[in-house]
Chains A and B, each alone.
Chain A
């Protein structure tokens, strides 16, 4: 029973902002939203996480809606190196046995 729903694929032009949506309508109050990405055959890379406030780091911004039922990962100026599969994961963050990544969104940056 998937906790998150993401579009299977998206394209974005190089230099533009890439906005990746994630629906998590059954999220509970103490669950975090995490984002990872995986560039072809490399190990997944942690990007960012948040609970209810918007978050920003050197890689991306995470916007979480007020009702916390959805979020958007924003890559502000996409480059070709951002082509990857992006995973949105909901978890309360500690000792969760069901650590599954789902199928994610395949983001392709178009030159």
Chain B
């Protein structure tokens, strides 16, 4: 158990819909990262927040957005969903001073778009 929690565990929705994925980082961690993992794409970095502010952006679509709240939990919003958005979405956090690459991952949210 990494200490990072994600909800929900599974999500099934239809094309065109909007969903929100939630992540709570480990206690004391200020950075939150979002990743997408699909069968054909591997693990892809989407976006990073540090203490409420966006810090780095990866291959995140314009239909996707994220934010980090004052209590440091983060939400990833996916809208106008397409079949290709079906994937595992992971959140990770890292402790302050450890560098961006010592990350602790949550169990993931499996999104299925039908």
Contact = CB atoms under 8 A, between A and B. Distances in A.
B102 A46 contact: yes
Contacts of A96: 56, 100-101
Interface stretch (A10-18, A58-66, A69-77, A99-107): A99-107
Interface of B: 2, 4, 33, 42-45, 48, 55-58, 88, 90, 92, 99-108
A45 B106 CA distance: 9
Given A42-B108, A46-B104, A97-B56, 9 more contacts: A41-B88, A91-B100, A91-B101, A94-B99, A95-B100, A96-B56, A97-B57, A98-B45, A99-B45
B100 A101 contact: no
A97 B44 CA distance: 11
Please classify how large the interface on chain A is, using the bins under 10, 10 to 19, 20 to 34, 35 or more.
Answer: 20 to 34
A43 interface: yes
Contacts, number: 64
A43 B3 CA distance: 12
Contact of B107 (A34, A42, A95, A101): A42
A49 interface: yes
A41 B107 CA distance: 8
Chain B interface, DSSP helix/strand/loop, else mixed: strand
Interface of A: 32, 34, 38, 41-46, 49, 89, 91, 93-103
Given A98-B58, A101-B43, A102-B42, A93 B108 contact: no
A95 B45 CA distance: 12
Chain A CB within 10 A, most for which of B101, B104, B107, B108: B101
A23 B44 CA distance: 21
